[in-house]
Chain A
Amino acid sequence: MTMCSASTWEGNEMSLLQVEAINVCYGLSKVLHDVSLKIETGELVALVGRNGVGKSTTMRAIMGITPPASGKILWKGQPITRRPSHLNARAGLGYVPEERRIFGSLTVWENLDVARLPPREGLEPWTEDRVFALFPDLERFRNRPGGLLSGGQQQMLTIARTLMGNPELILLDEPSEGVAPLIVAQIGEKIRELRDAGVSIIMAEQNLDFVLNLSDRCYVLEKGVVVYHGTAAELRDNKDVQNRYLHI
C-alpha cells in the first residue's frame, strides 16, 4: 500500500499513459488538484470515489475534451496535453463516456460505422463482425436506431462503438451505471474479454465489488485529489480507506 501524491513513481521506464499533476478547472472552480496516475500496457486500472470527486473529469482531461490548466499527460512518453480529442482517438485512445452519448437517430450499425478508424499495428483489428461476436445482442438490433435501445444495450453499443476505433487504451466511464444487475455481470465479462484481447483499460466506477473483481490497481479520488493508490487486493483489505472514501 502506498499513499500517493504528485509524481511518486519508482523508476523512469516509459508507461503507456502517464498523467502528471494535472489541474482542471470549470470556469473558476477547480475540480482536479495535481492528479497523477499511470497505466502500463495490458493493465486494468480503476478510478474509484464517490459522486462528483472528479473521475469523469480526469477521463475528459486525458481525452482532450476538458483540457487541464496545468500538468502533463504523456502517451507512450510523448506529451499529448491539450491535444484535440480526434487526434488522441487516432493515436489509440478510446473514450466511453458515462452518459453513453449514442447517436440516437443513427442505427446501431451506423453508430459503429462513424467510429471506424484504421487498424493498429500489433492489435487484431475490430470489425463489425468481431464487435457483434462480442455483443451478440447488438447484431439482432443492427438496423434499429440507437435511441430506441435499452440502457444495457446502449451501454454495450457505446463500448462497441469505441472499439471500432481500434483503441490501445480505453477510458471506460462507469460501465455499470444504470444497468440491471444481471447485465452488470455480463458487462463485467465483456470487460474481462477485452482485457484478455490485449486492450488496456482505465475504468471509473462507484461499484466497489465490480472494481475489485476486475481491476489490477486502483486509484481512490476524493474531492479532486488522489488520496490512495494500491493493488485491488490491497484495497480489498483496507477497510479504513473503504470506509473513509468509498462507502456512503
Chain B
Amino acid sequence: MFANPMILFIQVMNSLSLAMNLFIIAAGLTLIFGVLRIVNFAHGAFYMVGAYVALSILRVTGDSNLGFLLGVLGAGALMGAMAFVVERGLLSRLYDKEHMLQLLFTFALVLVIKDLVKMIWGSGQYSIGAPPFLRGAVNLGISPYPKYALFLCVMGPIIAVAIWFFMERTRWGRILRAAREDRVMLNALGTDVKLVYSGVFVTGAALAAMGGALAAPRSAVDPGMDSLVIIDAFIIVIIGGLGSLLGSFVGALILGFLTVMGSIYLKEWVIVASYVMMVVILLVRPWGLFGKADEERH
C-alpha cells in the first residue's frame, strides 16, 4: 500500500496543507462562536468575498509579490469593514433574541452575499496565481514539493500560535475570555462589551476573507467556493469542540488527512468517511474533542 515513500511524503504534505487551509477558516468560525455564541453560516461567504477581493486587487496591481500581499490584506480589511457595518447595523440587534433568528440572519447573509458576488464578478470561474516568490517547487530532501502548498503548511501554525498568544497572553484576550463567560458582569466592570462583540465579529470575518485570499491560488475562484468550505469548517469545529481553538487545529488536521488519504485509499467512500468520523467522535464526546459541556451563561 505505501510502496513509495516519496508518494507517501507528498500525500502527507498535501494533507497538511489542506488542513492548514481549512484551519484558517475554522479558527474565525470558532472564535465568533466562542464569544458571541452565534453560529455564523456566512463564514464561507466571507471566505469567498476574500478570494474575489484579492482577485480584483491583483488585477490592479499586476502579478507581483507586493500585489499578492496587498490582495490578502485588502481582502481582510474590506471584509472587516463590511462585517463592522453588518454587525453594528443588524446583527447586534439579535443578540438578545432566540438562536433561530440569529441562524436565519446569517443564512440570509449567505444568499445576499452570493448574489452580490454574482452581480459584481459574474458567474465565471477565475484563478489566481501564486505570488512569484512562491512559484515552483522546493526540494525537501525526500522529494520536491510545491512552494505555495508548503507556505500554507507554515502559515497555519503561525496563525494558530498568534491567536493562542493573543487569547492567553494579552489583556484583550483575557477580556474576550471573560466576555465568553459573563458579559453582563464584564460590562459592569467597565468594559464596553458591545465593542468587544463588534471586534470579534470583524476579526473573525477578516480571518475568513484572508483565508479565502490565501486559498485562492490552490483552488478555483467561483460563486460556489463557499459551500464546500463551510461544510468542512463546520465538521472541523464540531469534532474539535465549538469555541475551542486547539480543537479546530486538531479537527483540521484530522479532516485534512482524512480527505487527502481517503481520496486515495477509500476512493468514492471518502465523502461518507468524514461524516462517519464526525458521528463516531460525537458519540464518544458529544461536545467535541476539546469542547466543554455547555456551562451556564448569564
Contact = CB atoms under 8 A, between A and B. Distances in A.
A104 interface: yes
Given A101-B185, A103-B182, A90 B177 contact: no
A63 interface: yes
* Most chain A CB within a 10 A radius of its CB, from B175, B190, B191, B298: B190
A114 interface: yes
* Most chain B CB within a 10 A radius of its CB, from A86, A89, A95: A86
B185 A97 contact: yes
Contacts of A84: 187, 192
Interface in A79-118: 84-86, 88-90, 95, 97, 101, 103-106, 110-111, 113-115, 117
A165 B189 contact: yes
B272 interface: no
A106 B175 CA distance: 10
Nearest to A109: B174
A89 B185 contact: no
A12 to B, nearest CB: 30
Interface residues of A, number: 25
Contact of B181 (A90, A105, A161): A105
Contacts of A148: none
> For chain B, what secondary structure do more than half of its interface residues adopt (helix, strand, loop), or is it mixed?
helix
Given A106-B174, A113-B171, A113-B174, A85 B181 contact: no
Interface in B161-175: 171, 174-175
Given A106-B174, A106-B177, A114-B174, A86 B182 contact: no
B174 A86 contact: no
B1 interface: no
B190 A90 contact: yes
Nearest to B180: A105
B188 A95 contact: yes
A110 B174 CA distance: 7
A106 B180 CA distance: 11
Given A101-B182, A101-B185, A101-B298, A114 B175 contact: yes
A197 interface: no
B181 A86 contact: no
Which 5 A-B pairs rank lowest in CB-CB distance, beginning with the nearest?
A89-B190, A101-B185, A115-B189, A85-B188, A95-B188
Interface of B: 171, 174-175, 177-178, 181-182, 184-193, 295, 298
19 contacts: A84-B187, A85-B187, A86-B188, A86-B192, A86-B193, A89-B188, A97-B185, A101-B182, A101-B184, A101-B298, A103-B177, A103-B178, A103-B182, A105-B181, A113-B171, A114-B171, A114-B191, A162-B189, A165-B190
Given A86-B188, A165-B189, 8 more contacts: A63-B188, A65-B188, A86-B187, A86-B191, A89-B188, A106-B178, A114-B174, A114-B191
